[in-house]
């Protein structure tokens, strides 16, 4: 029921912004961002709590400074590997499957629906600094093998700071630092993304 209510809210907001876009002829942007960082569960952090995530989004630009962003984010734990040169450029790699958060867990998966306000400050015609602040509707699981240790969903906040470079052809790239609050689970990550404006 909560998911249906959130989906209805997002669709209503998108429809209202689309009608506003038609009257003011503002810009649209779609993009994707890959990032990696670390997770903390109930303030527990240790070596091996690394995560990787993919974020895809849509921006509606109200004016040169402000935009509304809606996106989907998915992430999971990232395993460390140790590779050794055994003989004559033959490598043997071993997965270092460290436990997560001191729980004995070895797997984490999470997903987020993100709605955020984005403000940007132009440094030059093509360079800008930006910040995002908004809400994320999250769902995550922490597992040990096939056993689920923790399963949570709810609403948290998201914050992001970054630099963006726009080319004349509509393509852009960005580098960012993002923080996701998901109740007892927090994720901090560095990301690299591409986008296209139209």
Q: pLDDT digit string (tens) for 120-142?
A: 999 999 999 999 999 999 999 99
- Convert 126-158 to b/e letters by CB count within 10 Å (16 or more is b): eebebebebbbbbebbbbeeeeebbeeeeebeb
Q: What is the number of domains present in the chain?
A: 1
Is 95 inside a domain boundary?
yes
Distance CA 2, CA 5 (A): 5
Structural domain containing residue 136: 28-197
Residues 45-86 pLDDT 10s: 665 578 999 999 999 999 999 999 999 999 998 765 566 777
CATH number of the domain encompassing residue 88: 2.40.160.20
Residue 4 covered by a domain:
no
Assigned domain for 169 exists: yes
Digit-coded pLDDT (tens) for 30-56: 999 999 999 999 887 665 578 999 999
Q: Taking 80 as the threshold, does the pLDDT of residue 152 lie above it? A: yes
């Amino acid at each position: 029921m909560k998911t249906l209510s959130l989906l209805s809210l997002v669709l209503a907001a998108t429809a209202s912004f689309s009608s506003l876009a038609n009257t003011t002829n503002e810009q649209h942007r779609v993009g994707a961002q890959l990032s990696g960082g670390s997770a903390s569960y109930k303030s527990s952090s240790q070596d091996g709590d690394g995560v990787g995530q993919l974020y895809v989004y849509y921006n509606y630009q109200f004016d040169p400074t402000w935009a509304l962003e809606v996106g989907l984010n998915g992430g999971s734990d990232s395993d460390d590997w140790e590779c050794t040169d055994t003989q004559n450029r033959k490598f043997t790699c071993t997965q270092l499957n460290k436990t997560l958060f001191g729980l004995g867990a070895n797997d984490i998966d999470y997903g987020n629906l993100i709605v955020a306000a984005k403000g940007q400050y132009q440094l030059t015609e093509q360079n800008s600094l930006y910040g995002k602040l908004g809400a994320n509707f999250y769902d995550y699981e922490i597992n040990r093998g096939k056993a689920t240790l923790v399963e949570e969903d709810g609403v948290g906040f998201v914050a992001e700071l970054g630099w963006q470079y726009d080319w004349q052809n509509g393509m852009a790239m960005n580098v960012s630092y993002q923080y996701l609050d998901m109740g007892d689970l927090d994720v901090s990550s560095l990301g690299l993304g591409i986008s296209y404006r139209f």
